[in-house]
Structure formats: C-alpha cells, structure tokens
Amino acid sequence: MSDNTVSAAAESPSVKPSRRWPVIVGGLCLVVGVAAGMGWLMKKSTAPAPQLAAEKLGMSRPDGLLETHSLSQLPKDLLAVPFLKETLTEDFVFYYETHADRLGLIGSLRRIIYEHDLKLQDTLIEQLFDQPADVALWRGADGRLKDFLLVMDRGGLAKVLEPLAKVALDDSQLSKIADVKVGGDDVALYQLTYNASKALVFASHGDKLVVLSNPSKLYDPESGVAQETGSVSTRSIAALLNGEKLFPEAFGLQPRAPEVKQRLSVNASVLAMGYQRFIPNFAGLRFDMDDKGWHSFLAMDELENQPDFDFKPVWQAMPMGASACVALPLAAEQQKPLLVKLGAEERAAQALTERMAGAAGLCWYADSRLYTPLLVASLKDDDSASLDGDLGQLFGSMVGAYEGNVDEHAFPVVEKQQDNSHQWRRQVSSNFGPYKARDAENPDAISGKAFMRVSLARHGSTLVFSLDDKLVDKALGTLDKRFPPMADVVPKDLLMPVYFGPDSMAQLMQQETLDSLPQDMEPVFYNAAQTYLIPKLRKLGGYGKYALTLPEGSEPDGHWQWLPLEWKAL
C-alpha cells in the first residue's frame, strides 16, 4: 500500500488505513482466481521465463513462498490488522497452535528427548519456531498448497540440536536415510515419523536447518528420476544448507530486507485454478509487512505485442452494484485454434479474433450467483453488425446441453434484435441454474431441478455474456443509459483493474453458503454457519467499497514485474 493511499484513508473518518490491506486476502485472491473464467481471451507469452538456479539444482518452481522473521509471530502479525482480527478472532491463532500435526510432531520429539535422556529444554519447539525462516510451498493433487520445504536460521540452537543425531540409529521414529555433500562435509539426512503415518525429512549444517514435509518428493538427481511438481533433489538440499537463497529468485525477488518482518508471495498458478496459461499477464501477488504495516504488490509478465491497459470501456458497460470486478488486457488473436475447436468456422474465428480489442472484464453480483459472473469485452469499431451471423453460430455451437426430452436434443437459440443491439439466448438444463424447473414454459422438458438462460449480446462495439440472462439484460440497459454504470463510482482517471464491494460480496457469500447447506439435509453445518460464519460476513459487509489501482503508466517489462497496489476507498 502506498503512502498516498494511507494518507487518503486518514482523511476519511469512516475508513481506517490499516483496514485497507486485508481486502486483498478476501477479495483479490477470490476475484483474480475466478477471473480465469475469461482466460480464453488471453494470449500466451512467447518469451520463456529464464531457468532458475533452483531448477538447475533439481528443485521445481514453488507455488508459494513465506519469508518471515519468526514463524511463531505470523498468525499474530495477521491479527494485528483490525479487519482480520474482527473476522478471524483469536481462534485463528489457537487453531495453528493446536493443530494435530503440530501436536503430533512435538509429542514425537519430546518422547525422543525423554527416552534417550537428552539434555534439551522443553521449550525447544517454541525456540525453533521463533527463528527467521523461508518456506517454499507446492500444490497437492487437489490444488491446495500442501508440501513445503523449510529453511531456518537456527542461530544459537545449532549446538542444542546436535544430540538428536546421536539417537538416529537407535529409535523407531528417527532414522538416517542418506548423506549430502555440503562443501567438504558429509551431512546426514534424517527421517522423522509422527502421527503413525506421517513423516518429514530434515538436515542441519552450520546455522541452517532444512525440513522437507514429504519424503516421497526427495530424489537423487544421479538416479535419473524425472523432476515433478514439488520435487526436491539432494543437490538443492545441499545448496540450501550451504546458505544459498534459491527461493526468492522464483518470484523475481531480492532477498528479504531486515525491515520486512513478513513477506508472503503467491504464484498466479495457485489463484488461477489451473488456467494460468490463459492469463499470462498475471504472475502473482505479494504481501509485505514492516513497521508501517502491510503493503501489497501485483506481479505482471510482459507479452509480445503487449496490448494497452485501458479498462474504461469495461466500467462504462458494467452495471452498478457489483460485489467484485476484475479487468484484464485483451489479446485474442492467438485464440483462433481454440474457437475453431469449440465449433467456430475458420473464417468466423479469424474475423472475431481480428476484431477483439482493448480489455475484458468480469463482475459478480449479489442478485445472481458466484458461478454466473457478467463478462464484458470490446470490439475494434462500431460497425460490428457484420459479425452477428458468426457470433450467433459460435453461440449455438458452444452453448447447450443434451436434453433428452427435446426433439433437437438442445433447446433452440432465441434471437432478439433491437436498435443497436443483437441478443442470443438459450435455455440449458442444470441443477445449478437460477430458475426452478417448474418455472419453465415446458417443465417436463427440463432434465433436472433447474435451468439457466445463457445469453450473449452485442451492443454496438461491446460484447456481453453471462450464464444468467438477467445480468446481460441489465448490461444492455446500462449501455442504453437506462441503468447507471460502474464508471459512475470508480476513480475516473486511474488505472483500476479490480473493484471490491464488501457489502454486496457478503450478501453473495451468505447466499451461496446457505444454498449449499439445505437446513433439512445439513442441519448441523447449517446451524454452524448461522452461528459462526454469518456474523463474520455481516462484519465484512460493514466496510466500504474499494478500488484497487495501479500507478499511472503501469506496464509489465519482462518477467515478474512487481507493481505496487493502491487501495482507495470509494
């Protein structure tokens, strides 16, 4: 967060500066993550990222990185932000202090210390967690950050830990599995099992302690084993024990400065939910904490033939009242093969990709659903009616589902043309649809409990699309100046890629939560949500609206270009 942002917040009696950063955690991660839905409009960069030193040593690129002056202080540092303290409460700290894995690990070490009569203090674990550390994280099969590699500066604990190595040959839970060469020294790698089925690998040398959470990810590069996600070679372990900083380079960062107490970096691959190749501009997010508080940054990658960052047409078409919005630069010419594969003719795909321009954006609304955002994109000129035939054909080939009770096995596409707009709509059976089957013109034709009315429309040089036709209708009303646009509430002369409305977002999240927990089928979880979650969402709704802006003239130049984010109260 910039000093200008803090100053602006200080001038507002209703918004505290320290409350501005946490909006990123609840808003930007959600918004940018789901923004992958518009990824088919983006172009992949042709300039490959340089190979990292860690990759050369046999360590796959991390998905997340935590650099901290004290692991034990991180939860408390997060709760120092009033917004998070009000929404997470102290239970957040207690959860991690009483987690089963943490308690199991502590119990195993204390048993080893006791049974082997080691002269170690009972506060050993607390002392270890109170040291500076770097933690690289990788996603598991379910997409969540799971496996980790921790590098810790042990300081005065180096001598204290040495007795543990002496019991490795005479303990059921602690064993030596290999040696690694660090300089001229042979350093032992140990495996510690805990909680019956879990294990970790660790090694220490000098003032460094390295811990790998998943022993199956460790491999010897001389064995010829292929490197996979989250894999760590013995060669990279040796480099880390020798003091090499392999993690920051993966996120385009310099080593953490002493004044930065906490630094959290997340790769876009985590937030984009597997669609990162479709949104190549977006590289990652970072949050720093120093004596002045938390600061936030956005990482961007440069594209060949980089499009202009101009989001004003998006905000002029988006209806007012959104829960959250994101806008991204548009470069569609590389997506022609994808459109052809989805059913477009070669000529139609070429015509559409050549006419796409500017930026595209997504907005979520409380009167719709989380999975039915509104998409807005722009065409290069107002003379776009010649595309209508191709757009209709593309819509008909891409949108639809097998309907067993319909003669053509899909409901017909309904077209509507009026003045400067042309709209296509198709009914699609889906249990997740906003309309109940009984409300359809022919309920017996619906293959399920509900249905959607998917809609695409062209209004002049603007395209709008949503799985919820009511949002498309509202966007057309906005373009016809019958409904106010987002442009009326967002900063006029600033580059704003993200908008977040906590009040509307809280309504949307409450609706989605309760809808997924029917009271008659999930009474326990429903009551828990009513008791614990809904009050937190109400507190979230008490915060004002925010615009996330980038500095004027921002444009990525190379890989991992970190740009400061400024949060402005609206």
* pLDDT above 80: residue 135: yes
CA distances from 515 to 367, 370, 434, 538 (A): 13, 11, 11, 17
Mean pLDDT confidence for 529-534: 78
For residues 186 and 198, give the distance between their C-alpha atoms in angstroms, rounded to a whole number.
26
Query: Which structure tokens are listed for 457?
Result: 């429309």
**Residue in 262, 278, 273, 322 with CA at minimum distance from that of residue 133:** 262
Contact residues for 303 (Cβ-Cβ < 8 A; gap 6+): 43, 45, 280, 281, 331, 556
User: Residue with structure tokens 């002049």?
Assistant: 460
Whether 241 and 316 map to the same domain: the answer is no
Whether 110 and 208 map to the same domain: the answer is yes
pLDDT in tens, 351-380: 888 888 778 888 999 999 988 999 998 888
Spatial contact of 310 and 360, defined as CB atoms under 8 Å apart? no
Q: What is the pLDDT, as a whole number, of residue 418?
A: 86
Tell me the chain's radius of gyration from C-alpha atoms.
27
CA distances from 58 to 16, 41, 51, 151, 253 (A): 46, 34, 11, 16, 20
336-356 CB burial, b ≥16 within 10 A, e <16: beebeeeebeeebbbbbbebb
User: For all residues of the chain together, what is the average pLDDT?
Assistant: 76
**Domain end position, chosen among 440, 471, 496:** 496
**Residue in 200, 146, 208 with CA at minimum distance from that of residue 183:** 208
| CA trace torsion 225, 230, 234, 236 (10° rounding) | 120
Amino acid at 499: Y
Whether 328 and 431 map to the same domain: the answer is yes
pLDDT tier at 31, thresholds 50, 70, 90: very low
Contact residues for 417 (Cβ-Cβ < 8 A; gap 6+): 423
Distance in Å from the first CA to the final CA of the chain: 16
- Residue 45 domain-assigned? no
**Domain end position, chosen among 444, 462, 496:** 496
- Residue 25 domain-assigned? no
pLDDT in tens, 193-251: 776 677 888 888 888 888 888 888 888 877 655 556 668 888 999 999 998 999 999 89
pLDDT in tens, 309-325: 788 899 999 999 999 99
User: Residue with structure tokens 């002269």?
Assistant: 119
- Residue 261 domain-assigned? no
Range of the domain at 360: 312-496
Number of domains observed in the structure of the chain: 2
Whether 358 and 488 map to the same domain: the answer is yes
Whether 322 and 401 map to the same domain: the answer is yes
For residues 449 and 143, give the distance between their C-alpha atoms in angstroms, rounded to a whole number.
30
Mean pLDDT confidence for 107-123: 52
**Domain end position, chosen among 245, 262, 281:** 245
**Residue in 476, 428, 486, 452 with CA at minimum distance from that of residue 372:** 452
Whether 213 and 316 map to the same domain: the answer is no
Bridge partner list, 418: 421
User: Residue with structure tokens 């120093």?
Assistant: 290
Among the ranges given (9-23, 257-271, 361-375, 526-540), the one the predictor scored with the smallest mean pLDDT: 9-23
Whether 437 and 331 map to the same domain: the answer is yes
Three-state secondary structure call for residue 542: coil
